[in-house]
Structure 1
Amino acid sequence: MFTEPETWVAIAFVVLMVLFAWLGIHRTVLTALDHRAQRIKAELDDARRLKEDAARLLADYQSRRASAEREAEEIVTNAKAEAERIATEAKARMEDFVARRTKTAENKIALAEAQALADVRAAAAEAAVTAASTVLSQSVKGSVADDLLTKGIAEVKSKLN
């Protein structure tokens, strides 16, 4: 039995354990393990607290992002509505501008027609007066002719103008 190496290993193990017990190493090991357990527990508590803080921050940022997205959508919607309103106003202004320009042009054309008609009438009156004075001066003589000529010219001018 003492020739077996396993026996000597067992004896050495028992002697070593007794020596450790007598020196109090088991208390030191247990204290070190307790300190380590406390440190690990504190680290786990810190990690749990950090995880909860991170979850709160994530929820906060997600709500902010959702709010920002809603605000961006509202801005885009308002911008589209504003652009449509401006386009509608511009179209109405352009139509009004074109209508006023058309009316102005029509008025100018009517005025030019009236002026042309008046010019033609004046030219016709001048021609009629000249023709009448020529005809009357050659056919009628004396003071009766002068008086008749003056009345006729005045009458023609008043009727044609």
Structure 2
Amino acid sequence: MTRLTTIFLALAASPAFAATGPFFSLRNSDFVVTIAFIVFIGILVYFKVPSKITGMLDARAVQIKADLEEARALREEAKALLASYERKQKEVKEQSERIVAAAKAEAEAAAAQAKTDMHQSIARRLAAAEEQIQAAENSAVRAVREEAISVAVAAAGAVLAKQMTAETAQASIDAAIQQVDAKLH
């Protein structure tokens, strides 16, 4: 039955039926649309749709306002964090510059100390080398003297052996004994 009524109303509201006749007739499409619009608005007001839409819009506005406040708070917090990180970065940069400067100064001091130590080491080695040269020279001079003495003693012994007779040998021994006796007493 409802199906039949719907079909009848659809045919009655068709433009062919609505185009003829006076304005306040169901056959006039403008009148039918106006009545349908008023009924639609009435249904919306009856079910309190405008207040529901207004309430939804107000709730959405409150939510947007809360989101904006939260975004502002987050922005302020982000600014504070950024400032904190920038301060920390500046402090770390200054600290690293101080560390680098201290390391450079320490390296320069170590280089100067190493240079001083090297000069002292070279001076000690030169002194040691000079001492070794002097010792070798003294040793060589002693060896030459000893060799000269032994050569002289051998030559003197050979000369004395050629010149020595039994009588001169006895006289020489007696003279040596007298010298030793004189030095001991």
> Structure 1 pair 146/6, CA: closer, same or farther in 2 (3 Å)?
farther
TM-score by length of 2: 0.69
* Counterparts of residues 2-151 of structure 1 (less than 5 Å): 2=23, 5=29, 8-140=32-164, 141-147=168-174
Q: Whose radius of gyration is greater, 1 or 2? A: 2
Contact 1:136–1:145 under 8 Å retained in 2 = no
> Structure 1 pair 60/18, CA: closer, same or farther in 2 (3 Å)?
same
Q: Distance in 2 between matches of 1:88 and 1:137?
A: 72
Q: Distance in 1 between matches of 2:33 and 2:76?
A: 52
Q: Unaligned 5+ residue runs, structure 1?
A: 152-161
TM-score by length of 1: 0.78
Contact 1:137–1:145 under 8 Å retained in 2 = no
> Aligned to 2:44, what secondary structure does the other structure show?
helix
Higher RCO (C-alpha 8 Å, min separation 6): 1
Contact 1:20–1:26 under 8 Å retained in 2 = yes
Q: Unaligned 5+ residue runs, structure 2?
A: 1-21, 178-185
Q: Deviations over 1:18-47 (max 9, x none)?
A: 333343222212111111111111111111
Higher helix share: 1
CA RMSD of aligned residues (A): 2.6
Percent of matched pairs sharing the same residue: 37
Give 2:90's aligned amino acid: A
Give 1:146's aligned amino acid: I
